[in-house]
Amino acid sequence: SQTIHQWPATLVQPVGSPLSLECTVEGTSNPNLYWYRQAAGRGLQLLFYSVGIGQISSEVPQNLSASRPQDRQFILSSKKLLLSDSGFYLCAWNRGVTGELFFGEGSRLTVL
């Protein structure tokens, strides 16, 4: 069966510090991968998605970036965090045919 893992689960970082959130998917190959942010308003904002290694599409301009160094690995990064980067970050994957998105457990980031 397929599983998705993301870490760390909780992170408290000072403003201006770097960020790296990792996500890996097991049990499938060539998944579509996504990073979402969920801010206090509860909505799911799509940040990045990837249909293959090295292929990243950005949905919103920001100081975050994403990379996909391996087929089942998706990384969310920042060189310098802002207060507004605080939120709940969710990694997700799907195969694109059925449409069902499978979400990770989330990473809660607090920028102080």
Partner 1 sequence: GENVEQHPSTLSVQEGDSAVIKCTYSDSASNYFPWYKQELGKGPQLIIDIRSNVGEKKDQRIAVTLNKTAKHFSLHITETQPEDSAVYFCAASKEGGNNRLAFGKGNQVVVIP
Q: Please identify, using beta-carbon distances, which residue of 5 and 79 lies nearer to partner 1.
A: 5
Query: Which member of 92, 93, 109, 111 binds partner 1 (CB under 8 A)?
Result: 92
- Phi, psi torsion values for 84, nearest 5 degrees: -70, -5
In whole angstroms, how close is the CB of 90 to partner 1 at the nearest point?
Answer: 5
What 3-state class would DSSP assign to 109?
strand
In whole angstroms, how close is the CB of 49 to partner 1 at the nearest point?
Answer: 6
How do 3-7 and 55-58 pair as beta strands?
Answer: unpaired
- Please report, as residue ranges, which positions from 20 to 79 form the binding site for partner 1 (by CB under 8 A): 32, 41-44, 46, 49, 51
CB 20 within 8 A of CB 8: no
